[in-house]
Amino acid sequence: MIRNNLETVIEDNKVTYKKYFDVPVDLLFEVWSSPEHLTEWWGPDGFTLTIKSLDFSNGGIWEFIMHGPDGHDYKNKIQFLEIQKPNLISYKHIGDCEGDEDVNFQSKIIFETSGKGTNLLMEQIFSSKQELERVNAKYGAIEGGKQHVVNLAKYVDKIR
């Protein structure tokens, strides 16, 4: 399927990022779900991460701050909707830690065994095409998503 390159597909209100990783599904799932790994790669280029709290369970909440290269802090709050280790992490971005819901979307992270490696599919689903366009114009969501997956790939290459 996908070997070296990141594929990005935009359909109406959904963006799907697809990439093959030359690591077992268990390792990729761990890197996506463990605080000690998340702080090493999460986010677009130039961002760092501080985790305030992380309840990695169905219905659990993850609060974190992304520190941008522009000097701004971006507070985020996520609720995990469904976790099926090691194949699925589904969550809803529910705004920032103070309840501001300027960015509200759902993500599905699918980990699929492919030979000795893993195909990763990251879907971001917005309430409408207009909402995706608004968030992309304001925050660079699509390019940020690409950088997010590439930063994951760089980190995985470093630790394997």
Q: Would residue 110 count as lying in a domain?
A: yes
Q: Is it the case that residue 152 has pLDDT exceeding 80?
A: yes
141 occurs within a structural domain: yes
What CATH number has the domain bearing residue 100? 3.30.530.20
Q: Token digits for 114?
A: 């492919």
Determine if residue 129 is left, alpha or beta; phi over 0 gives left, psi from -120 to 50 gives alpha, anything else beta. Answer: alpha
Residue 1 falls inside a structural domain: no
Q: 41 lies in which domain range?
A: 7-159
| Residue 19 confidence class, pLDDT cut points 50, 70, 90 | very high
Q: How do residues 82-109 score in pLDDT, each as one tens digit?
A: 999 999 999 999 876 554 456 779 999 9
Count the domains in the chain.
1
Q: What is the pTM of this model?
A: 0.91
